[in-house]
Amino acid sequence: MDDNNFPNAKDVYGTVAKTYAQFRPRYPSQLFSFLSSLTPQHELAWDVGTGTGQAAIELSKHYARVVGTDTSEGQIQHAERRHNITYAVTAPSLSEQELLSIVGPESSVDLVTVATAVHWFDLDKFYAQVKHVLKKPGGVIAVWAYWKPMVDPAVDAVRERFYRRTNPLFHPAVKMVLDDYETLPFPFAPVETIKVEIEEDRTFDEYMGFFTTGSAMVGKEEILEEYRAEFEAAWGAELHVTKTVKFPLCLKVGTV
């Protein structure tokens, strides 16, 4: 299928920035405590594809300075601010001079993170830049994603039917997420990781809101409405009653 039939990440997430900030789950502090334990120094972290700053906020608790970059101005406008975070809207591919001025010189970055975004990148160019700016030795890159909210067998069964309908609508790049990043190229020395799972209590509307943030749903929200009655029946209890929703992370960590 021709990639030109699909919107790009900038187009998709710029239009749903407010919804994204509202309904995307927060990454657990356990993840960032683990990642920060891997770097000998804690001077600078670069969060690429920072979106609304969910990862950058957590990184700012562990690193003296954080740079969060994204191609979507809409996402950056909704990012949470902290005194030690610098946000920048960038082109999809940074020049050497832009990399120097926005992020830092060669061997200056302790940790590079990409939260649910690396599959959209020009990987060859991006990985070359990562290898340039990461400290040698000691620099670490971590990429992760999630896509499958888990509640209970009844709700999960409806989710699976919904995904079978909508997964073909996703941009081909997103297929790497649906494969739990097993097919993602990652040319770094692997670091053993931990199992990480996001866990949040959500109402029915908050659970359904998550699906509206997916790139395949932009402009196609009526498909989700077709499944609403099934989701409501599976939820069972009064819809304002919260249920625990779990999002397993697929996590890859490496060094130069």
Cα dihedral sign for 88, 66, 143, 106?
positive
Q: What is the pTM of this model?
A: 0.88
What is the Cα 64 distance to its own chain's centre?
Answer: 22
Q: Does 75 or 108 have the greater pLDDT score?
A: 108
Fold of 3-147+171-198+247-255: Rossmann fold (3.40.50)
Reported as a single tens digit per residue, the pLDDT across 27-68 is 999 999 999 999 999 999 999 999 989 999 999 999 999 999
Degrees, nearest 5: CA angle 183-187-190: 90
Instruction: Delimit the domains of the chain by residue range.
Output: 3-147+171-198+247-255
CA dist., res. 142 & res. 191, Å (int):
9
Reported as a single tens digit per residue, the pLDDT across 181-211 is 999 999 999 999 999 999 999 999 999 999 9
Residue 138, SS3?
Answer: coil
Residue 167: both structure tokens together: 């997964």
Q: Which spans in the chain are helix H?
A: 9-15, 17-23, 29-38, 54-59, 73-77, 96-98, 123-133, 153-166, 175-178, 204-211, 221-235
Residue written as token pair 């992020």:
103
Between β-strands 243-248 and 197-202, what pairing exists: parallel, antiparallel or unpaired?
Answer: antiparallel
- Do residues 223 and 165 touch, judged by C-beta distance below 8 A? yes
